[in-house]
Structure 1
């Protein structure tokens, strides 16, 4: 999983929390606790995908262009970091005569592919609206 997924979820939840206001990349970055350039990169991708819209100039920024109840975390995961559970390096060597070394890479690829399917299935059941509700419930529990 990469941080772009987390920034995308956080950014969309923040925009859903304040649907009548635009948020600048600086405001989102402060809320996420990251650099505005990273936020602009992620929000730019979300704009291309139709989740947010932008307005240039004074009073501009990002606003939500989607229904937070319909945007699943699975959609965002597939858009921002598909296949990221699988490490970039896998042990073993398919050319090796050792049974373990010769088969480890293939077996681990299958394990990570199955884990990815489970993660996406779990994320299908969660929307941006669900995350916002969880945040509100967490705030109520704090008193």
Structure 2
């Protein structure tokens, strides 16, 4: 997984909170990354219908169009086509006689698939509204 997921979640929570059109420059200041990266990541959210892009010159930008209590982190991950756990390397060789050497790669693929399934299941339980409540809820009321 790369950090595009973090950028996307941050942007959606920010746009939901602001309830207004925000430029990629405004989002980049809050997320602390380059505006071009914001545009690249949010293009995928726009394509999936999670955001609207408003192309009206200097007042253009993005706005959140969903219902925060219905949009889950799994929806964002799906829009970005995120795989959370993936090996950078596969051990062994299927042509070797040793059962460990020939079977470990496939066995680890199953472990990674299971971990990704479990990640997706957990992300389906977390909504944008949940994150909003965590940030602005009772525990932060004194700030």
Question: Structure 2-normalised TM-score?
Answer: 0.91
Distance in 2 of aligned mates of 1:16 and 1:94: 49
Structure-1 residue corresponding to 2:53: 54
Per-residue deviation, 1:94: 1.2
Aligned residue in 2 for 1:127? 127
Q: 2:52–2:63: 8 Å Cα contact kept in structure 1?
A: yes
Q: Could you say which residue in structure 1 is the equivalent of 2:18?
A: 18
SS at match of 1:133: helix
Mean CA deviation greater in 54-63 or 30-39: 54-63
Q: Please identify, of 82-91 and 108-117, the stretch whose mean Cα deviation from structure 2 is larger.
A: 82-91
Tell me how far apart the structure 2 counterparts of residues 141 and 33 of structure 1 sit (CA, whole Å).
25
Alignment pair present for 1:87 and 2:90: no
Q: How does 1:91-110 map to 2 (within 5 A)?
A: 91-110=91-110
Q: Tell me if structure 2 keeps the 8 A contact 1:4–1:81.
A: no
Q: CA deviation at 1:142?
A: 6.6
1:58 aligned counterpart, secondary structure: helix
- Determine if the alignment matches structure 1 residue 36 to structure 2 residue 15: no
Q: Report the number of matched residues.
A: 142
RMSD of Structure 2 on Structure 1 (CA):
1.7
Q: Verify: 1:113 aligned to 2:113, yes or no.
A: yes
User: Would you say the 8 A contact 1:2–1:81 is kept in 2?
Assistant: no
Give 1:98 shift.
1.8
- Cα drift, residue 141 of structure 1: 6.5
Q: Distance in 2 between matches of 1:38 and 1:139?
A: 32
TM value normalised by structure 1: 0.91
